[in-house]
Structure 1
Amino acid sequence: MENTRTGIIYGINGPVIYLKGNPGFKMSEMVYVGEQKLVGEVISLDKDRTTIQVYEETSGLRPGETVEATGSAVSVTLAPGILNNIFDGIERPLERIADSGGAFITRGVSVDSLNREKKWKTHLTVNAGDLLHGGDIFAEVPETPAIMHKCMVPPDLEGTVTSAVPDGDYTIDEPLLTLQLSDGSTKELTMTQRWPIRVARPTHHRFPASVPLITGQRILDTMFPIAKGGTAAIPGGFGTGKTMTQHQIAKWSDADIIIYIGCGERGNEMTQVLEEFSQLIDPRSGNPLMDRTTLIANTSNMPVAAREASIYTGLTLAEYYRDMGYDVAIMADSTSRWAEALRELSGRLEEMPAEEGFPAYLASRLSAFYERAGMMHNLNGTDGSVSIIGAVSPQGGDFSEPVTQNTKRFVRCFWGLDKSLAYSRHFPAIHWLTSYSEYLNDLGAWYNDHVSPKFVDYRNRLMALLNQESSLMEIVKLIGGDVLPDDQKLVLEIARVIRLGFLQQNAFHKDDTCVSMEKQFKMMDVILYLYKTCRKLVAMGMPMSVLKEENIFEKVIAIKYDVPNDNLQMLDMYKKYIDDFAQRVMDKNA
């Protein structure tokens, strides 16, 4: 560590400090500021002055104090111990800070990111004489009961193993093997890597989207699917259910690892996340969900610069696990608060503001964030993915504001939450007319092979009925529903069945909280069969009032509760119910 380069503070403006002259610092270098050694990062260099953003509260700092260079960029420590942990925006473990400094983070607190004393049960997968390249796996450590941690050669190293330790219990800093590099020098490898947060980890190549991230939520999986390695935005006003939608995805999706970034959210909301996640049981293994989850908590009262960094910290942790061959899902809640941190820092730096005061580089920062998602073929031959689901909190629920509009340019899946749906207790409150997914065609082949060749066709038919309902409701609002012909009344009734029986989902019902793709398909099949049968009856002259007497529509809506997830054969009986219903109507009116 070189600590010879120092500068003297001459100006302080909130989290931004200025140094006079040129102390020899490098762009994006991490520095220690003042007597309390606050963590900072160089963000602008000039021959006359150096600008630094500080990741901690700067009150009490004064001109004349020194700033020390560290020689490296702002980086995270990558090793076993990341999962089942709670960090702040720059990977400091909050539980260990609480042990040393109490409930509030004291400034200049210096704790190791990961536990350096704990010994991990380690199994080496290489022997002396093996040639290793960057990214190759050389040891396996059971990090939690759910996840096997794979220790990898740093991406920029290559060499021959000269010696390796036997299997046993080791700390993250103990050397596990020695590599002889091509220039003849040797390098000892431990379980630990450091990686700069603003640099994407290298991969071999990127795959196009082809496999869906299955969430168990019908409106997402069937209507607006996201692919593994895909990007989605959940925009919505206050109280529309952004955080709860992300919770449901975190709990039920088929991702191996969840990284939840609470970026600038309210403290009580973050507390709820921490408490709920620690109590949730992983439906896959029966172990606590935290065994495959990392939380990054950066509440709205924490310094804004750390909020800006928290997104990149979470991304780097996700890429690290992707390199091991895992599917990782990032929940970023919310990117609007992150953009507000950019806006505040930009204002302090006296940069020219663009739309609504946001900096002109808002779009490029958002694109750089979402571009790091993807399904990748890793350097070690494994395949892994990082999927990013970002919540957006537009002020007043206005989707035309800059963060929502720019996010829309870079994500391929848009789940627009609607205030009126949320207030009428329709959850998830994702509106089917404002949302879209560009992954549907990419995933068509997967649906054909794994669910049914009719899946996409059925989904499109449901969407067509919902669109028809929207057009008819305009007429109903003007002149009332009684004047519509019976075939159009039927469309309204079937659309109601789709809305209440298919799109609406109850997170607190054991069979409805998470639904398999097979059940989703069979539910669509029953709804469309009901529509086909009723259309025949209407064509024969049966009035809608007669069809409604039988309560068949209510019976189909209740499928989601009445058919247990482990007994899907019951769904096949519903077509017989519908046939019996049609026969009764015809007999009655013969």
Structure 2
Amino acid sequence: MEMKTVGKIGEVYRVSGPLVVAEGIKPRMYDVCYVGEEGLMGEVVGLVGEKTLIQVYEDTSGIKPGDRVENTGMPLSVELGPGLIKSFYDGVQRPLPALKEASGDFISRGIHVPGLDRSKKWDFKPIVKKGDKVKGGDIIGTVQESELVEHKILVPPKIGERTITEIYDGSFTVEDTIAVLDDGTELKLYHKWPVREARPYIEKLPPVIPLITGQRILDTMFPVAKGGTAAIPGPFGSGKTVTQHQLAKWSDAHIVVYIGCGERGNEMTEVLEEFPELIDPRSGKPLMERTVLIANTSNMPVAAREASVYTGITIAEYFRDMGYDVSIMADSTSRWAEAMREISGRLEEMPGEEGYPAYLASRIAEFYERAGRVKTLCGEVGSVSVVGAVSPPGGDFSEPVTQNTLRIVKVFWALDAKLAARRHFPAINWLQSYSLYVDTLKEWYEQNVAPDWGELRRWAMEVLQEEANLQEIVQLVGSDALPESQRLLLEVARLIREVFLQQYAYHPVDSYCSPQKQYDLLKAIKELNDMFFKALEQGKLIDEIINVPGKEEFARAKFEEDYKTALQNAMDMIRKALFGE
């Protein structure tokens, strides 16, 4: 229930800063307020006696004691309905193209634009009829929002069981009434939901289906489940953003929500320019047809940056409630945590480690806990998978944001500056990374790809681990001092690294690798390993095996459309050179 009240500003903490003290507005925590004559948007972040602390989402220059403050009586909420797909929002769901039209390239203060277009009409097709009973979360009809997304119109979750007395068919704006319930409630194509409150569901389901990303080191070595959580920490230049772009492009989620949280503006520009041109591999349509972008870059308000991740995950939960699989890319949660640190400092709260607020761990946990594969209120199954990039200063994984993230997420993709310097991309360190979903997803892979998937993965990891152990000896005395069998193992490990783990994000064929192709490549490397050791047993010289003709063709096979034929031809060439077959 909206309870609007009007008061005045008592103090401004910093003329250039966005924290003000208001009097006489009778708020609740997290109520949205409009501050000053320009109506700057803010949020209640503290209550001290009769005084109210308001975090303003814009620059407060010129705001002075005595200026008007209006409390809307409502928490920060997003508008959920047709028009979300293909949209580009700031951290508090203001559409950036509409802001540009209103104020030019630089956003003026105090501009308020609704999250959903009020003039556009949508063709609504009801799937329920007059006299039917409905309750919160039920689907009452559909709108074809884009070529890839059928938008299911939901009854707002907090409505109890009611009977439909009227329902209409035709073209409507989001503000038009499409149905009426027996208690007089009018349903529209959209409804609002508070961003800091998780949307309800019936039950959470076990994570037994993988989120296929098309990236070999992720899918095979360290898989993430649909409804799972993953973190990509790494230093500057190690490939966090490119890896997240790859996940957004190729993961088999129905909807992608990409949150540019405190990152550089040119990185979001790259997303904006690339995504409309990229073709979705499953449908052949532009990737933007199933994407929502939220940008609160490093030169945009810090306070709104803190809200941007909640805006993103609320939109994701809304599509999950329709029965869709949604993946969220948050780039980067370190900048989000820095926004919390700045707000906490302004509130003069007791700081925790490295100046971050004492509640950093609980806030990070609250965010990631909203992920999951669930049975929705309407009986569908949907999921929200969260992948958060972390930018630890200097690549130091012991800093608070990384450590608190690792306590919560189930998958850790550790980016390594040394691998990036060697031009090995994705620069994910296979010895530091882990996935706690390997055992729960093993059954899916063995049923849908190959029965020996788990065994093959374990063999590859053992070879890489053995290589790491031998490298210490190699650095001391050189590889020539090793026994021939160990030199051969190092060569097989090199093939796993360069042929399998390395993947070229900008190559038209290698950018995406299906689970079947991943299995075929790794299986071929295992067969090559068996051939090499068989040749060694038969007395072939180690140098003759390592430099065998056909190995270069084998390495290039992954770049071919018809990779199976290329692999087979290379294997035949190697077999003939080693055994004369």
Q: TM-score category by the smaller chain?
A: over 0.9
* Alpha carbons 1:497, 1:553 under 8 Å: kept: no
* 1:506 positional shift: 1.3
2:225 aligned to which of 220, 227, 238: 227
| Residue of structure 1 in register with 2:236 after alignment | 238
Partner Cα separation in structure 2 for residue 540 and residue 280 of structure 1: 51
Higher mean Cα deviation, 135-144 or 543-552? 543-552
Match in the other structure for 1:400: 398
Is 2:478 the partner of 1:476? Answer: no
Deviations 1:150-209, CA, capped at 9 Å, x for gaps = 0000111120011111x21111111111111xxxx3211011110000000000101111
Answer with 553-562 or 78-87: which moved more.
553-562
SS at match of 1:43: strand
Find the partner of 2:140 among 134, 138, 146.
Answer: 138
Q: CA deviation at 1:434?
A: 1.1
Structure 1: distance between partners of 2:568 and 2:370: 44
Deviation at 1:49, TM superposition (A): 2.1
Matched, 1:579 2:569: no
Shift of 1:554: 2.9
Cα distance in structure 1, aligned partners of 2:572 and 2:110: 70
Q: Which moved more, 1:529-538 or 1:144-153?
A: 529-538
Q: Which among 159, 162, 165 is matched to residue 165 of structure 2? A: 162
Q: Which residue among 135, 151, 154 is the counterpart of 2:153? A: 151
Mapped partners of 1:305, 1:523: distance in 2? 47
Q: Confirm or deny: 8 A CA contact 2:9 2:20 kept in the other structure.
A: no
Corresponding letter in the other structure for 1:41 = E
Establish whether residue 125 from structure 1 lines up as the match of residue 123 from structure 2: no
Distance in 2 between residues matched to 1:549 and 1:285, nearest whole Å: 43
Whole-angstrom CA distance in 2 between matches of 1:205 and 1:581: 59
Aligned residues, how many?
577
SS of the residue 1:568 aligns to:
helix
In structure 2, C-alpha distance between the alignment counterparts of 1:152 and 1:404, rounded to whole Å: 37
Q: 2:564 maps to which residue?
A: 568
Cα distance in 1, alignment partners of residues 431 and 118 from structure 2? 52
Task: Give how far 1:572 is off.
Answer: 5.0
Is contact 2:92–2:308 with CA below 8 Å preserved after alignment?
A: yes
Corresponding residue to 1:78 among 74, 77, 80:
80
Report the counterpart of residue 10 of structure 2 in structure 1: 9
Give 1:28 shift: 1.1
Worse-superposed segment, 430-439 or 538-547: 538-547
Q: Structure 1 vs Structure 2: percent identity of aligned residues?
A: 53
State the Cα distance separating 1:29 from its structure 2 match.
0.8
Task: Report the equivalent of 2:177.
Answer: 175
Write the distance in 1 (CA, Å) between the matches of 2:454 and 2:252: 21
Show the counterpart of 1:29: 31
- Supply the distance in 1 between the matched residues of 2:321 and 2:87 (Cα, whole angstroms): 20
Q: CA separation in 2, counterparts of 1:105 and 1:533? A: 64
CA contact (8 A) 2:557 2:566 kept: no
> Is the aligned partner of 1:363 residue 2:361?
yes
CA distance, structure 2, for counterparts of residue 4 and residue 214 of structure 1: 50
In structure 2, how many angstroms separate the alpha carbons of the residues matched to 1:53 and 1:311? Answer: 17
Cα distance in 2 for partners of 1:73, 1:226 equals 33
In the alignment, is the contact (CA less than 8 A) between 2:535 and 2:579 conserved in 1?
A: no
Matched with 2:454 is 456
- Whole-Å Cα distance in 1 between the matches of residues 374 and 3 of structure 2? 36
- TM-superposed CA distance for 1:48, in Å, is 3.9
Match of 2:465 among 464, 467, 484: 467
Q: How large is the RMSD of aligned CA atoms in angstroms?
A: 1.5
Partners in 1 of 2:132 and 2:522 — Cα distance? Answer: 55
Q: Note the residue ranges of structure 2 that are not aligned, 5 or more in a row.
A: none
Matched AA of 1:411: V
Residues 90, 309 of structure 1: 8 Å contact kept: yes
SS of structure 1 residue aligned to 2:494: helix
Q: TM-score, normalised by structure 2?
A: 0.97
Partner AA of 2:196 in structure 1? R
SS at match of 1:555: helix
Residue 188 of structure 2 aligns with an amino acid whose one-letter code is T
Matched AA of 2:403 = Q
SS of match in other structure, 1:186? coil
Q: Which deviations, in whole Å up to 9, do the C-alpha atoms of 1:253-295 show, x marking residues without a partner?
A: 1111110000011122222221122222222222221111111
SS of match in other structure, 2:9: strand
